[in-house]
Amino acid sequence: MNKIVLLGTGGGPRIWEARSQPSSALVVNNDIYIIDTGDGVCNQLAKANLNPLKIKCIFITHNHSDHVADLGTLLLRSWQSGHKGMINCYGPNPIKKMISSYCEYMSWDINLRTKHENRPQFKSIFEIKEVSSEKKIYEDKNVKVECITVPHGEAVPSYAYKFYVNDKEVVFSGDTSINEKLIKFSNKVDYLIHEVLNLKGVDDIINKTYPGNNEFRKHIIDGHTSTEELGIIATKAKVKNLVLNHLVPTGSPKFDLDEIWLKELAINFKGNVIVGKDLLQIKL
Ligand SMILES: [Zn+2]
Ligand SMILES: [Zn+2]
């Protein structure tokens, strides 16, 4: 069954219990395409009963740690689980350098296992390709993938990805503020999987952690999309289904509640909204 699996849906770098950091999987004809690799992705993959040996590609939207913390770990543990390659990885600069540093960081372990466990060279099972332009970046028998840059504060470049699977289209927004280009890119797609921010929840976080830090508040709000803005995006783009992802504030007992998300989205969007949950599966 072709499907989208939300592996982790909690946006942000802090430590919490409620949701795993952002990562999603697209499963097409049993091949797995991963979008972002936040902390905990390996465990989430196992919980979703997805076979790591079936990972074919990994797409990174941008290099904030909540999206890329476990890219190296996912590659390493896939190799340790018996993946012989090839895993094609796409992401923005300096992703190549980051993975090269990770290989160095883990070289003690990698060298021992290569010698004692008769494995192929770790670096031979994956290839990192830095995405530097907006275009069709990947195609195989299952999917075609396009990307555009999206505005996300100082995180430049940040990408949104669109997957064509048979007659279905799925867009992953990555982290982004509201913008016309993404609205056009998402025009009438079957699923728009989009980050979302509850503004009152942001104030709650600021009051608890950095009281009076308006600069930090502005920084969060400017780089992301509020519930109100997301409703406008979904309506303008006429998306068939809107899936909330990268929910902020994650796990807040006051704000991270289905009824709150749905109520706020309903102000500007009358279509179908799915509140993302870790391990939620959506049939394609
Ligand atoms: Zn993020
Ligand atoms: Zn980010």
DSSP 94-122: THHHHHHHHHHHTHHHHHHHHHHTTPPPG
DSSP E strands in 119-177: the ranges are: 126-130, 136-139, 143-150, 158-165, 168-172
In the reported structure, the alpha carbon of residue 235 is separated from the centroid of ligand 1 by a whole-number distance in angstroms of 23
What the chain holds in terms of domains, given with CATH numbers, is: 3-283 (3.60.15.10)
Share of the chain above pLDDT 70, in %: 100
The Å distance, Cα 80 to ligand 2 centre, comes to 29
pLDDT, averaged across the chain: 96
Q: What is the pLDDT of residues 59-118, one digit of tens each?
A: 999 999 999 999 999 999 999 999 999 999 999 999 999 999 999 999 999 999 999 988
CA distance 131 to 3: 25
Q: 63: CA distance to ligand 2 center in Å?
A: 7
pLDDT tens-digit map of 216-275: 888 889 999 999 999 999 999 999 999 999 999 998 899 999 999 999 999 999 999 999
pLDDT at 272: 98
* Average of per-residue pLDDT across 10-14: 93
Q: Distance, CA 39 to ligand 2 centroid (Å)?
A: 14
**Band of the pLDDT at 206, cuts 50, 70, 90?**
confident
Q: Quick one: average pLDDT of 42-50?
A: 98
Ligand 2 midpoint to CA 22 (Å) = 10
Both tokens of 249, joined, read: 């504030």
pLDDT of residue 134: 83
Q: Which of 176-185, 202-211, 247-256 has the lowest mean pLDDT?
A: 202-211
Give the whole-angstrom CA distance, residue 142 versus residue 209: 45
pLDDT at 169 over 90: yes
Lowest average pLDDT, out of 79-88, 184-193, 198-207, 233-242, goes to: 198-207
Give the ligand at the shortest distance from the Cα of 12. 1
Q: Is 175 left (phi over 0), alpha (psi -120 to 50) or beta?
A: beta
